[in-house]
Amino acid sequence: QVQLVESGGGLVQAGASLRLSCTASGRTVSNYRMGWFRQAPGKAREIVATINWTGSTYYSDSVKGRFTISRDNAKNTVYLRMNSLKPEDTAVYYCAADPRGGLTIATSTYDYWGQGTQVTVSS
């Protein structure tokens, strides 16, 4: 079993930056694909970014150029650096992990999930 704990969310003004962290425990996730998803009120959970064990990444069009996903295998941690935040980025952000390879964007392709961290961007 893998446990994921997110941190780093908060309330910021538009244009600000935040860095989310997701630390895994229970197993080493260095060869897992890791993803960040978000869910706004009344909306479905959607992909934000993913990174696989080789370091290859995928970003949704809405965050491309503003967000950066990275991983520190020594710390069993994945990060999401979020710059130029917009009110539409407001959501609960979830970390996800899966032992299978490749980059996938569907929630069904991730076995492990964190509890989420709230990000609120005011205008």
| 3-state helix/strand/coil string of the chain | CCEEEEECCEEEECCCCEEEEEEEECCCCCCCEEEEEEECCCCCCEEEEEECCCCCEEECCCCCCCEEEEEEHHHCEEEEEECCCCHHHCEEEEEEEECCCCCCCCHHHCCEECCCEEEEEEC
Percent of the chain with pLDDT over 90: 94
Q: What is the pLDDT of residues 52-81, one digit of tens each?
A: 999 999 999 999 999 999 999 999 999 999
Give the whole-number percent of the chain exceeding pLDDT 70: 100
Whole-angstrom distance between the N-terminal and C-terminal Cα of the chain? 40
CB-based burial, 59-69: b 16+ in 10 Å, e otherwise: bbeebeeebbb
Mean pLDDT of 80-96: 98
Q: What is the pLDDT of residue 14?
A: 98
Query: H/E/C letters for each residue in 23-58?
Result: EEECCCCCCCEEEEEEECCCCCCEEEEEECCCCCEE
Where residue 6 falls among pLDDT bands split at 50, 70, 90?
very high
